[in-house]
Chains A and B, each alone.
Chain A
Amino acid sequence: MTEAVLFYLFSFLAVVAGLSVVVQRSPIASALSLVVCFFALAADYVMLDAHFVAVVQVLVYAGAIMVLFIFVIMLLNIREPGPTPIGLISRRGLVGIGIAALMGVGLIAGLDGLVHTPAPELPKGYGTIHNIGEQLFSDRYLLPFEAVSLLLTVGMIGAVVLAKREV
């Protein structure tokens, strides 16, 4: 009961923060709203017994990536607020909103069937680091895991090469 209440509370917070990311005029406010959104999502993961994912969400997204975002905003020192996105909706924007609304309706209709099926009992140790580690490093997901690490390395080297061309 308590968990359900907290879950919906944090979900609501996540949606509000997500909207605020789009609607806010100052870049710093948008970035901080995104941090709050990530935080609320992490809280939702905790409610769903995915503690590891929650901690990693805070550690990686809120703690590292968003810090870099804000770092850049601070360095560029963007203080003049941009135009309000709501006031500048073009025809193309209207088409976008329409398509998004259609997809949203479809998504809700699709998910409606899921809500009524009772959730199966979680296996013991679900969402623990031990369990996730076993899944990731056993035969099941080992290849995707290694492929992703290779991809990250390639991305990092690429960034260094692009940024430091003269050295």
Chain B
Amino acid sequence: MSEFWTDFLIVIARCVFSVAFVMNIVPLLIWGERKGAAYIQDRPGPNRAPIDLPNPLDVPRLLGAVMAGQPLVYKPIVSLRAAGLIHTLTDVVKLAFKEDVTPDHVEKFYWFIAPVIAMTISLCTFAVVPFGDQLLGVHLQVSDLDGGLLFVLALTSLGVYGIMLAGWSSNNKFSLLGGLRSSAQMVSYELSMGLAAVVVFLMAGSVSLSKIVEMQQQPLDLGFIAIPAMNWTALSPFGFLAFLLFWVSAFAETNRTPFDLPEGEAELVGGYHTEYSSFRFALFFMAEYANMIVASAVTATLFFGGYAVPFLDGATIRANADVILAVLGFGAVPAFTTFAVIAFKRQTRPFYQVLAAEDPRRNEPKFWTGLWLGAAAAHGGLGVLGLMGGLAALSTWASLPELGGDLVAAVLHVSSLGAKVLIGCWIMIWVRWTVPRMRYDQLMNLGWKYMLPVALVNVFLAAGWIILRHELFA
């Protein structure tokens, strides 16, 4: 294969990975939002939609029935509800097959492209977020732009077009008000967002996100002790203030509660997406969650070390890949066993006591117990050793001695970023179901009269501190 095609495939793979990373977390977040809302409001949440599995002995007969074109009728042996995860699947089917209504009074062209803009912009933003240092010399980042975070800010400012156009082209006053609110809000909070990020630029000496992560992978020097790979921006006083400002602005930029006035359903019906139905609505819906993921990823990258694993820098991971693999593999055994015990104990809940003896839902806890126990056994048994041996064999076969270490590092880095993103998204969900919506003048006051001055002062103080440190200690 020529060099051109190798490069081409690498570029394609990086793009696909970054889009897949975001798009795979979206359904998980929708589930998390519903479950989180249910826990916070003390109600069961999604728990109905099941997948009914037939008795394995019945499968040949059912296959025959399907081949013969007969209806698929069977008595389920277990009904899997997977804590409401199945609802996400049914949602996709519902949104894709609902009738797509185009109202007569909309401005057709703009109305059609608005959701496309919203979704495209939120997926593009992830292009500059690094999700690992390198795998066989290939940077794990779609594009290491010199502009770095400026690119993120530029795309965020474009994201407003999707909402604005949707509101305007829907041609009704509620949607228009929603669009206007969102544009005013996003333009206002962009300022404090940018100023908060300036502090990070000052500390890292660069706006490139990969350089910012590299800076945070340095040891944190406390004078008497140096903690490896923990030089997180958020652990310094100015960095922490910048993080708070950035995080609040991120809420406003993603139109999440307490700043979700553009779609305030009590006042504006549904705001900018009132007229949208079916998959066009789904695009807006997914764009909101994609924006949450990107906002969390950027925040994690700027303030919490991005893909960096706490206490382990890239070189350490590569040098101790075998040990890490063994610890993770065998450490998973007690974790999976705990999950199995939790699943098993669910049988004693009142719900399962009142079910009829032949109800397939009765068998669900047993199924999960078996699954987790099986996973634990696979890890404790040959799984980990096989994986280690396989990695070693692969490295020798491909005559690339660093392949094993690089793979372990890549997996750890991506998981680390993923964990940070999920924590950020969970905080957003938590806030949404805890904090009431602000009034519009309060929103503007907060942005212009409090956050902007604080962010400005923070930039000056941080710059002064950095110069002072430079003069005193270097």
Contacts and interface: CB of A to CB of B under 8 A. Distances in A.
A12 B356 CA distance: 71
B2 to A, nearest CB: 15
Interface string B140-184: 000001110011011111101100110110000000100110011
B158 A58 contact: yes
A17 interface: no
Interface in A41-71: 51-52, 54-56, 58-59, 62-64, 67-68, 70-71
B157 A52 contact: no
Contacts of B158: 58, 62-63
Contact of A71 (B147, B155, B180): B180
Contacts of B180: 71, 74-75
A110 B171 CA distance: 49
Nearest to A73: B168
B187 A55 contact: no
Given A28-B110, A63-B154, A71 B183 contact: yes
Given A63-B157, A74-B168, A128 B146 contact: yes
B386 to A, nearest CB: 44
Contacts of A128: 146
Contacts of A40: none
Contacts of A14: none
A55 B154 contact: yes
Nearest to B176: A74
Interface residues of A, number: 23
B146 A51 contact: yes
A58 B156 CA distance: 10
Contacts of A75: 180
B207 interface: yes
On chain B, which size bracket covers the interface? 20 to 34
Contacts of B167: 74
Nearest to A125: B146
A34 interface: no
12 contacts: A32-B110, A51-B147, A52-B147, A58-B154, A63-B153, A63-B154, A63-B156, A63-B157, A63-B160, A64-B187, A70-B161, A128-B146
Contact of B150 (A28, A55, A68, A74): A55
A67 B154 contact: no
Most B-side CB within 10 Å, residue of A51, A52, A55: A55
Interface string A96-138: 0000000000000000000000000000000111000000000
A35 interface: yes
A10 B401 CA distance: 44
B179 A74 contact: yes
B160 A67 contact: yes
Interface in B91-132: 107, 110
Interface string B43-73: 0000000000000000000000000000000
A51 B150 CA distance: 10
Contacts of A56: 150
A75 B167 CA distance: 12
B327 to A, nearest CB: 41
Q: B-side binding surface: helix, strand, loop or mixed?
A: helix
Given A71-B164, A129-B146, 18 more contacts: A28-B107, A28-B168, A52-B147, A55-B145, A55-B154, A56-B150, A58-B154, A59-B153, A59-B157, A62-B154, A63-B190, A64-B187, A67-B183, A70-B161, A70-B164, A70-B183, A77-B176, A129-B147
Contact of A55 (B147, B160, B165, B184): B147
A148 to B, nearest CB: 19
A35 B183 CA distance: 15
A67 B179 CA distance: 11
Contacts of A63: 153-154, 156-158, 160, 190
B151 A55 contact: yes
Contacts of B153: 59, 63
Contacts of A127: 146
A134 to B, nearest CB: 13
B157 A62 contact: yes
Nearest to A53: B147
A63 B152 CA distance: 12
Contacts of B154: 55, 58-59, 62-63
Contacts of B207: 129
Nearest to B171: A79
B179 A59 contact: no
A64 B183 contact: no
A130 B167 CA distance: 40
* 4 closest cross-chain pairs (CB), A and B: A63-B157, A55-B147, A59-B154, A58-B154
Interface string B248-289: 000000000000000000000000000000000000000000
A59 B156 CA distance: 9
Contacts of B150: 52, 55-56, 59, 129
Nearest to B184: A71
Contacts of B110: 28, 32
